[in-house]
Structure 1
Amino acid sequence: MILLSFDIEEFDMPFEYGKKLAFDEQLSISTTGTNTVLDLMQETGIKATFYCTANYAQHKPEVIARIVKEGHELASHGYYHSKFENSDLLSSRKLLEELADVPVKGYRMARMQPVDQLEIHLAGYKYNSSLNPTWLPGRYNNFKSPRKWFWEEDVLQIPASVSPNLRFPLFWLSFHNLPMGILKWLTDITYRKDSYLNVYFHPWEFTDLNQPEKYGFPSYVSRNSGDAFTERIREFINWAKRKGYQFGRTGDFASEIIQGRR
């Protein structure tokens, strides 16, 4: 099963590159991208998981309503994207559940940073997808962490997918920069080895990011963004469907594993 997920947040990434963006524009860019994603999911018949910050959800409840109405899973991405306290784990889950009137089972930490697994358990989450089990200079040093799903503090951990052996990350930046042939090959060997794939993106990637004066992004971030990224994701989905790979929501995948443990 391919677990397709999208992290919906205030678009604050330009701050990492010394740029400023008004909050209304942060919301607007994320909203436009999310609607593009939802349109694509509807076109391809895919159900996905949307990890959303409570801050975004409070300001855009109509987007949350569309996600739930169209059969996708709503999960938590914390309360704010740029700051975190342990209390945000519970408060973000409760706010999302109140807004959407659905249970929120999953969590993903902003920027896939470390988070206390006991606090995840105490906040009532069933699964956590906050680990990228690879090594990237200045970002991740998780080469010795489990590559596939595992249990910690009675919470199911579902790391982002990386290739066997070399642990090449199959995450959003890979989809911007790798030739599609290589990306499909890495996907194929990883899927056949693990029997599932956990890949994640952001709605703001579906905006033209090749505006260095505005966003300050290096080329490896802005390459193949906007319409080009929409086409890449569409091509990937259609290729995977032709291969016979199934797509599903992360919460459903987690529920099957949890049920099997009982």
Structure 2
Amino acid sequence: MHFPAAFSVDVEQDCPPYLDTCRGMETGMPRLLDLLGELELKATFFTTGEMARRFPRVIERLVAEGHELGCHGDQHRDFTTLDQAAAEAELGAALATLRAFGPVESFRAPYLRFPVTFLPLLVCHGLRLDSSLARYKSGANHRAGPVPAGLVRVPASMTSSVLRLPRWIRAPWLARLRPPVVLFVHPWEAVDFRRSSLRWDCRFRTGVPALACWRSALLDLRAAGADFAPLRQFLSFRG
């Protein structure tokens, strides 16, 4: 039985707010793009304006290879700490940068936190899909509230670190996800931070082990019937 699925990437500095380096952009992104090319899988890359300005050739490559370019804010600021004017400025700056590379219709807030009072801003900026919700988070007040006309909200299915767990733990977890299945990772996870001072859930099985886990997970889901496509496939989704 086939079911819809999407693989997405939050393109940002290394493990914010703990680091301010960009090894993920320099090393992790090429590795991740190579993996997706090998699997012939098209993903959605939620990208900050800052990373697009600093690494334009990386963004040009992902667009040229047929991936969807999405918005992840401009400076990876937590929208729950911003007022309306600051949120407007953050979106405007990001989209002014990103749309120089191609069309942008999808959005995901940093830390998957976005106040419902800001949802109309997305529509005003021509964004049609929001993936700032998380099924694995309970009781979050950013879930409540009406969705403006013209906007679809598609939640992430699970946190990114689950995909780096050993297969015997990961596979049953993935099998329990209800469609549409929306996975996400970060480029910095493809860099070896295992000996760093990052907290354990951020650094375990990073680097080559992470890439191997992602490859295995995607192949397992495909074998189970997942039809992977960029998140824009869900523009008609109303779940």
Which range, TM-score by smaller chain? Answer: 0.7 to 0.9
Give the counterpart of 1:57 among 32, 52, 60.
Answer: 52
* Equivalent residue, structure 1, for 2:10: 7
- Check whether the contact 1:132–1:142 (CA below 8 A) recurs between aligned residues: no
Sequence identity, in percent? Answer: 24
Alpha-carbon RMSD: 2.3
Pick 1 or 2: higher relative contact order, CA cutoff 8 A, min separation 6: 2
* Equivalent residue, structure 1, for 2:163: 175
TM-superposed deviation, 1:118:
1.6
Give the counterpart of 1:158 among 154, 161, 170.
Answer: 154
Does residue 230 of structure 2 align to residue 249 of structure 1?
A: yes
Give me the whole-angstrom Cα distance separating, in 1, the residues matched to 2:231 and 2:43: 7
Give the letter aligned to residue 27 of structure 1.
C
Indicate the larger mover: 124-133 or 88-97. Answer: 88-97
Give me the whole-angstrom Cα distance separating, in 2, the residues matched to 1:199 and 1:143: 22
* Equivalent residue, structure 2, for 1:120: 122
Partner SS for 2:45: strand
* Equivalent residue, structure 2, for 1:94: 96
Q: Structure 1 residues 89 and 208 mapped into 2: Cα distance closer, same or farther (>3 Å)?
A: same
Give me the whole-angstrom Cα distance separating, in 1, the residues matched to 2:112 and 2:210: 21
Partner SS for 1:2: strand
- Note the residue ranges of structure 2 that are not aligned, 5 or more in a row: 80-85
TM superposition outliers: structure 1 runs of 4+ over 4 Å: 143-146
* Equivalent residue, structure 1, for 2:190: 206
Partner SS for 1:246: strand
Give the letter aligned to residue 105 of structure 1.
E
Give me the whole-angstrom Cα distance separating, in 1, the residues matched to 2:181 and 2:152: 16
Q: What's the TM-score once normalised by structure 1's chain length?
A: 0.78
TM-superposed deviation, 1:109:
0.7
Give the counterpart of 1:70 among 62, 65, 87.
Answer: 65
- Check whether the contact 1:133–1:143 (CA below 8 A) recurs between aligned residues: no
- Note the residue ranges of structure 1 that are not aligned, 5 or more in a row: 162-169
Q: Structure 1 residues 151 and 203 mapped into 2: Cα distance closer, same or farther (>3 Å)?
A: farther
- Check whether the contact 1:133–1:144 (CA below 8 A) recurs between aligned residues: no
Q: What's the TM-score once normalised by structure 2's chain length?
A: 0.85
TM-superposed deviation, 1:8:
0.7
